[in-house]
Structure 1
């Protein structure tokens, strides 16, 4: 496991723990179980952090999942309050500036489970197709979710979200999306590699659109690249997003699907890949437009 992946794994677990701390510190239990006695206990919402990945409060600042916000607006068929819209826009701004699908790689618990399923499948030798559904399909799924929310009058995805099944389930006992999560595990184990995260997750579709302007990008040193394809084998999003840089047509991975997970950087035996800040206007082979943010050590 490479250095970036180790750091990312720590962050993924830390995010799970972070949302579980407020109820524990208030004397509550996990998964909706009450751990206190008959005496009065504090409300977890009184702390610095409270909530879930769908809706949370950090030091009094509301942060909202942008897809859930769109669903809520569609379901109510009206604009939400200014504070709600600002809460969603803050999330959009942060992930938009960094790299939209960084949420998927560094925060989302379903991706953590998906990587575990990937490892199990490799260990037991189960072969599945690399791709069965186009990665752009999740944008259409996101649009369909919002439309369905308007049709039925409630946030459709929030009712079956596997993200909520893990995040809300551990903290509050809300396991509404557990069935979806089980289906995802079975599909990724037996049907297709990372089919949910790559092609079907509507929240991933929203962040894919945001990812097209992200400022943290994987860059390539064409002179160092030995064309071993280990980066493509390691890619968590879709190896196709690496094609332009590996073909020498560009110096950074531009696809909004890139998760900035660092798996390709860790896998490169020639240190040809690195994270860099900024997006050059067009393909500029061989130019180093800014200093690297991180790189894997060369093994040559």
Structure 2
């Protein structure tokens, strides 16, 4: 195993590509998350009701309905048949994420992602142990339990504790109990389980991962032969297991990251100083040459740096 370095994650990328390019997709994601959140806050804050509702369900310009399909599913198993506008809204959202990647919702839209990313950054800076790591299938168990509780209670169970909705309420109504859930997620990721919430617990991420299982947009490690084992991509990836098959694969193995767990966040592209990764589509059959080991740079252990 390679030795651990105390150089900041992405140090080589910043040096070789510049500060902006080394954070391009991170910046775009924050702008995207801020944009969507701002649309919902324009009404309560400024009386500009272009969009009514929140990420669970909304109506844009009194014309376009959008519904979270996971919320719709909970309502249906709870015994509440939705109106046609809600069904149409759910179909629109489901079709979009089925095409571009379900977990893009997690990294490009969900405002809690900024909270968990901050916790992950603080975790690295404080050099904390990774802590308890729930099993990979835990979030699917939580998703199933949410549906069971919804069916038994006759209510949309997840909305009672959903930190996404709580963050929205907290921003509208100010300091209150809703912020407790948001702070709890941050502390959980910081001290209990590194990347624990989004990667292991959240049922919304589990649902959208299933929704985008065959999505078109993918990340490819097409230039994996140039990899110098700096390990920065593993350090920043919220789902590090998705990288290995594409990056460490044999000549005949696809360089595409095909796992539905991939959030298409683009951070592996940002921090790679030798541009191994790029966005493409799932039908990209460009062969990736086998790895030719160059003299490695200082590297960091996966478990210690992430």
8 Å Cα contact 1:66-1:91 kept in structure 2:
yes
Tell me whether 1:182 sits opposite 2:183 in the alignment.
Answer: yes
Query: Match for residue 295 of structure 1?
Result: none
8 Å Cα contact 2:221-2:278 kept in structure 1:
yes
Q: What is the distance in 2 between the residues matched to 1:16 and 1:270?
A: 34
Tell me whether 1:232 sits opposite 2:234 in the alignment.
Answer: yes
8 Å Cα contact 1:230-1:267 kept in structure 2:
yes
Root-mean-square deviation (CA), in Å? 2.2
Q: Closer, same or farther in 2 for the Cα pair 1:211/1:245, shift >3 Å?
A: same
Q: Displacement, 1:71?
A: 0.9
Aligned residues: 263
Q: Displacement, 1:18?
A: 2.1
Q: Displacement, 1:276?
A: 0.7
Q: What is the distance in 1 between the residues matched to 2:262 and 2:193?
A: 19
Q: What is the distance in 2 between the residues matched to 1:82 and 1:175?
A: 35
Give the SS at the match of 1:51.
Answer: strand
In structure 1, runs of 5+ residues without a counterpart are: 27-43, 288-300
Query: Match for residue 50 of structure 1?
Result: 52
Tell me whether 1:265 sits opposite 2:269 in the alignment.
Answer: yes
Query: Match for residue 247 of structure 2?
Result: 246
Matches within 5 A, 1:52-201: 52-59=54-61, 60-75=63-78, 77-129=79-131, 132-171=133-172, 177-201=178-202
Of the three residues 272, 275, 279, the one matched with 2:279 is: 275
TM-score, normalised to structure 1, is 0.81
Query: Match for residue 215 of structure 1?
Result: 216
Tell me whether 1:9 sits opposite 2:11 in the alignment.
Answer: no
Using CA pairs under 8 Å that are at least 6 residues apart, name the structure with larger relative contact order, 1 or 2: 2
Query: Match for residue 43 of structure 2?
Result: 22
Q: Displacement, 1:81?
A: 2.4
8 Å Cα contact 1:98-1:216 kept in structure 2:
yes
Q: What is the distance in 1 between the residues matched to 2:175 and 2:139?
A: 25
Q: Closer, same or farther in 2 for the Cα pair 1:122/1:228, shift >3 Å?
A: closer
Give the SS at the match of 2:279.
Answer: strand
Q: What is the distance in 2 between the residues matched to 1:212 and 1:174?
A: 38
TM-score, normalised to structure 2, is 0.79
Q: What is the distance in 1 between the residues matched to 2:152 and 2:244?
A: 39
Q: What is the distance in 2 between the residues matched to 1:175 and 1:97?
A: 38
